[in-house]
Amino acid sequence: MFRVNSVSVRYEQKNVVSDFSFHVDKGEIVSVIGPNGSGKSTLLKAMARNIPYHMGSVEFDGTDLKSMNSKQVARKMCMLSQRNEAPSDMTVIDLVSYGRYPHKKWFEKLNSEDMEIVHWVLEKTHLSLYKDRKVSSLSGGESQRAWIAMALAQKPKVLLLDEPTTYLDISHQHEVLELVRELNRDMEMTIIMVLHDLNQASFYSDRIVVVQAGEKVMAGTPNEVMTRDMIRHVYRMDAEIQHIPSEQKPRIHLLSTVR
Partner 1 sequence: MNSKSRSRTIVFTTFLFMIAAGIIAVGLGSVHISVPEILKTIFSTSTTDQYYTIIWDIRLPRVLLALIIGANIAISGALLQAVMGNPLADPGLTGVTSGAAVCVLLIMLAAPEYTQFIPIAAFAGGVLAATIVYSLAWRRNGISPITIILSGVAVNALCGGVIGYLSIIYSDRLPSAVQWLNGSLAAKGNNALFMVLPYAVVGWILSFFAIRKVNIIRLGDQVASNLGENVNRIRIVLSLLAVFLAAISVAAIGMIGFVGLIVPHMARLLVGSDYKYMMPMSMALGALVLLLADTGGRTLFAPLEIPAGILMAVVGGPYFLYLMRRRTF
Q: Which stretch binds partner 1 (CB under 8 A): 29-37, 48-56, 214-222, 250-258?
A: 48-56
Helix/strand/coil for 8: strand
Q: Does 63 bind partner 1 (CB under 8 A)?
A: no
CB under 8 Å to 122, separation ≥6 — which residues?
Answer: 92, 93, 96, 128, 131, 149
Dist. CA 93–CA 170, nearest whole Å: 26
Q: Does 39 bind partner 1 (CB under 8 A)?
A: no
Nearer to partner 1, 89 or 240 (CB): 89
Restricting to residues 5-34, name those near partner 1 by CB under 8 A: none
Q: Does 193 bind partner 1 (CB under 8 A)?
A: no
Dist. CA 209–CA 216, nearest whole Å: 7
Restricting to residues 221-250, name those near partner 1 by CB under 8 A: none
For partner 1, which residue of 4, 86, 127, 149 counts as binding (CB under 8 A)?
86
Q: What is the 3-state secondary structure (H, E, C) of 90-101?
A: CEHHHHHHHCCH
Alpha helical stretches, state H, 154-225:
170-187, 198-204, 222-225
Nearer to partner 1, 128 or 221 (CB): 128
Helix/strand/coil for 145: helix
Dist. CA 105–CA 249, nearest whole Å: 45
Question: How far from 80 is each of 107, 109, 111, 162, CA to CA, in Å?
Answer: 26, 24, 25, 6
Q: Does 98 bind partner 1 (CB under 8 A)?
A: yes
Dist. CA 54–CA 20, nearest whole Å: 12
Q: Does 164 bind partner 1 (CB under 8 A)?
A: no
Instruction: Give the amino acid at 168.
Output: L
Minimal distance in Å, beta carbon 13 to partner 1? Answer: 15
Minimal distance in Å, beta carbon 182 to partner 1? Answer: 22
Minimal distance in Å, beta carbon 158 to partner 1? Answer: 12
For partner 1, which residue of 25, 61, 64, 85 counts as binding (CB under 8 A)?
85
Minimal distance in Å, beta carbon 256 to partner 1? Answer: 36
For partner 1, which residue of 47, 74, 127, 252 counts as binding (CB under 8 A)?
74
Q: Where along the sequence are the contacts to partner 1 (CB under 8 A)?
A: 48-50, 69-75, 78-81, 84-90, 94-95, 98-99, 101-102, 106-107, 132, 150-151, 154
